[in-house]
Amino acid sequence: MNHRVLPERPLPGHAVCLDLRAGGPDDPGAAVRAALDVPQPGGERRFLVVDEADGLVGHQLLYERLSSYGPAQIVCLAVGARGDRTLRRTLTLRPPAAGVLWLLDIGGDDEAGDHGTDAALRPLVEVLATPEVFDAVLGSLGDVVHGVAVPAVRVLEHDLTDEARARAWRQAVEGLTGPEVPAGSVSPEGVPGALALLLGEGVPRSLSGHDWLPASGRAGARLAACQEALDDAVDGHDRVRGAAGLLTGAGREVDLPGDIERLTEELARLRTAVADAFGAAGGTRLTAEHRGLLRDRGVELPELPREITRAGIVPALRDHTYELIGRGLPLRSVAARLSALSARTAPAGSASRLARLDAICGPERLRRLGRRHPFTAGGPRPAAFALTGLLALLAGVWPVLGWFLGPAVGALAAVLAWLMLRRRPNRSPDGRIDGGGATGAAPRLVGGVLGGLAGAGLGQFLGPPVWVGAVALAVPAVAVVLLALRDWTRAVDDWWARADPEEAGRILREVHALVVTTAVHDWLFADVRHHCSAGAGAAARLLRELAETADAYGGGWAPDRGPDRGPDRPSDPVSDWASWEDEPLEPPSGPGRGPNAVGGADAGTTSWSWDDWSDAGEEDGWSDMAEEPPVRAQAASSYAPPSPPPSSYGSSAHPPSSSHGSSSYPPSSPQSEPAPAWLERRYGDGGSALVDTLVGDLVAGAVLLLDGCWAGIERDPGGTDHTVQTRRLTELLDETRIRLERDAAASPPPPYEGLRDLGALTSLAALTDRSERPDAARLTGVAADAVARLLLSEDDPGSTVALCGPAHLRLLSHDPLAARQVRFVPEAMRRGTAGDDIWRGTAEGVVWTGAGRHAGILRLVPLRADVVHTVRAEEAGEP
């Protein structure tokens, strides 16, 4: 049995292929049993069998076994010898459930032997295994005599070069996994609301009015005492700073230094109480015991708010993960974001808040609050001396009385300065606390006396009227009083600002906010934060393992090495791009070759028109099947089938060996084998949408794979086993790689219905929609115009190559209307912006296949009635 003819990787939904020819290592019976075990969708059972023409009768029991477990459809490729003139087949291979394609000359030359035959059979098997083509061929065989026909074929193969395929695969895996990136940071603005509550330090709206430190508790009592001392200090400052505080003695009962001292002491007690609460419940999980300890220390905790619950964390993590993936981030970048989220939400315990408490209400800040500051009033002393002297001089201009009134104004200024010093706010009434001070009474007294005497002498000399003297006395006296009140108020406010008792109010607010933040995020949310951190960490680890699995599968590639297939992966001679040998292919020459064909034409595989067949039958009298046509065979062997026009894509107008001289191909790759005359190959370097499409397919599959993991993360984030997920990712990579090898990923993956329910990933769900998937030209870089021109040839027999030699022409029916034709094109070739123009006039009667890289025509030419013999069971014997 020759495995090289069969698909290297069976495709889901395609016909099950098996080879019953002699010379293989396997038992044909075992091959049939294995074929029967292959699951097929929808209850459909299609089998494409490759067999030797003279072995059909001997394998009757095997064909009966294929049909024994329910209705089965069989298309048999009977490979005949060049000397065959009749075909014997069993009843099992009759229409409508079965049909036979008799290959009298598949295209292998004598030198290549079986290898040449297998190289020609391989693309034909791939074409016929496509379910749409299989059904169309089987239906057409039911319309011809005996259900047996000789095929005439013309096939165009649109594919990628091996180098382009390897490059696209490498880039797709890199697009899925991404490079290693640091964890970075995460902000509340970039995550769902349930997670944003854990990242910020805000309080849920439902808890905004909760009393966290009731006054009846220890910490609440300390807080109330601090607030009372602060209120007393503020009230005392308001009473002292005005005229009443200086002139009436209203501030005699005010003890601002004592209030500030008491405030400082109460703040220290509050800090001790809060620190005790932080240390008592400093674990990472809130328990009933912790609630009791906090209640004893004056902290009252409510129930968990409705805005956040443990049950909503993993769904929020899932949405956040899918939102990141939907933004195009690779797996490792998403894992880095989740790791940052895990680190940010990990509960550190309330004991970690002690450092922040020290920064808010530490000894240094309290010491600065309790520091004593001197009281200074009156401004600079020279200025006070000069201003008082000037006022006293004006008061002394009253003749005669000025000798007394001028110095009296200076004395008034000095008395007021003394009162400011006596009643200064930084001194306790009992003198216990005194910050000291200076108000400039002496300079005012000296300046006033000197100025008054000078004014009296001036008044005696000038002799102004009495009313002028009265005005000159009133104005300085009022000015002295007003200036003293101004200096007093400014000095009190200046001392208050330097002492800054209101800083205690800010400290109180910060301590209270810290207590609330700690109560919410370190106590109430402790279990939720732990669950979020563990879940985000588990998801990050899973994504990294998936990325490592993808890289190990085949992310790295080098021309001399190929992609790394990972450990324990068997070598695949077709799809394994490792161990490639430099084996450049020379473009063939000779008749019967298209502009992109690879390999030489076989002289025995020819293209014939109906006129040739009828002329040969009439002129040479081929009524006797034993005779050979004397001249026609040689004439026919030189017949060159018409070649389609070259593609407009220059890169695909040459065989890979000529357009990519540095690339090499595995020995068993179809690109390294000569193509039969009926096969034209066009290889592209990959279109603009290839890598993005592959990445989208991989990401969509990975998302569905992740979607089944969240339940396990919810149950036990730390104990999740990722073996199943990595295995499924390997299967996903296998499936995507198969489609890349099969048709450059033009066929969509299985419908990802689960993506429809994930709002952030609806764009990925479109990948499974054939109408929105990129067309084959944008995936391969090869235009589909040659396919359209081939299909426009309608029923021209010259457009196909008969898989028989000239000696077999007389075995064929001479009725041109008896032949049946199947035209097939992958659906992906008619998608795209220019599809309607290219395919206009060719859509009717075309079989649009869901997948594949081959398009073309299969003409089923019936045989003469006396060529096919049906053998009954009693004649067949045992196989």
CA distances for 597 relative to 4, 107, 646, 674, 677, angstroms: 21, 14, 11, 8, 8
Q: Residue 341's beta-bridge partner residues?
A: none
- Widest Cα–Cα separation across the chain: 170
Separation CA 355–CA 729 (nearest Å): 46
Separation CA 507–CA 750 (nearest Å): 63
Cβ atoms within 10 Å, residue 741: 22
Residues 136 and 259 in one domain: no
823: closest CA among 345, 189, 127, 79? 127
Residues 350 and 475 in one domain: no
Residues 362 and 388 in one domain: no
Residues 335 and 391 in one domain: no
- Cβ pair 347, 531 in contact under 8 A: no
Separation CA 285–CA 349 (nearest Å): 8
User: For residue 526, is it within any domain?
Assistant: yes
Q: What is the pLDDT of residue 797?
A: 67
Q: What is the pLDDT of residue 584?
A: 34
DSSP label at 805? -
Residues 224 and 78 in one domain: no
Residues 386 and 360 in one domain: no
Residues 476 and 514 in one domain: no
Residues 723 and 830 in one domain: yes
Q: Positive or negative, the Cα torsion across 349, 352, 353, 357? A: positive
Strands of 358-455, DSSP E: 375-376, 437-438
CA distances for 720 relative to 488, 535, 538, 710, angstroms: 74, 10, 8, 10
Q: What is the pLDDT of residue 765?
A: 57
Separation CA 581–CA 587 (nearest Å): 18
Tokens standing for residue 324: 């990141």
Separation CA 279–CA 276 (nearest Å): 5
For the chain, the domain total comes to 4
Residues 332 and 388 in one domain: no
User: For residue 652, is it within any domain?
Assistant: no
Q: What is the pLDDT of residue 837?
A: 56
- Cβ pair 261, 529 in contact under 8 A: no
DSSP label at 247? I
User: For residue 169, is it within any domain?
Assistant: no
Place of tokens 């949408």: 689
Residues 286 and 394 in one domain: no
Strands of 27-90, DSSP E: 46-52, 73-79, 87-90
- When computed from its CA atoms, the radius of gyration of the chain, rounded to whole angstroms, is 49
Q: What is the pLDDT of residue 519?
A: 87
Q: What is the pLDDT of residue 580?
A: 29
User: For residue 447, is it within any domain?
Assistant: yes
Mean pLDDT in consecutive groups of 10 residues from the start of the chain, 879 residues: 69 88 76 89 88 92 88 93 89 92 76 68 92 95 93 92 93 92 82 85 82 88 91 88 80 83 91 88 74 86 82 91 91 94 87 88 87 84 82 77 81 86 84 81 83 77 73 82 88 89 89 90 87 93 94 59 38 33 34 34 37 38 33 29 32 32 39 80 90 91 88 83 88 89 83 61 62 83 82 71 89 88 87 56 76 89 91 55
Tokens standing for residue 368: 């600065």
Separation CA 150–CA 863 (nearest Å): 7
Separation CA 742–CA 160 (nearest Å): 10
Place of tokens 């059904």: 135
490: closest CA among 246, 734, 191? 246
155: closest CA among 135, 180, 126, 184? 126
CA distances for 251 relative to 230, 240, 372, 440, 475, angstroms: 17, 5, 19, 21, 28
Residues 246 and 365 in one domain: yes
Before 96, cis peptide (omega within 30)?
yes
User: For residue 779, is it within any domain?
Assistant: yes
User: For residue 237, is it within any domain?
Assistant: yes
Separation CA 226–CA 206 (nearest Å): 28
Separation CA 519–CA 523 (nearest Å): 5
Q: What is the pLDDT of residue 337?
A: 93
Domain carrying residue 456: 378-428+436-486
Residues 473 and 363 in one domain: no
User: For residue 717, is it within any domain?
Assistant: yes
CA distances for 34 relative to 39, 121, 781, angstroms: 10, 21, 38
User: For residue 842, is it within any domain?
Assistant: yes
Place of tokens 């039969």: 676
- Cβ pair 765, 565 in contact under 8 A: no
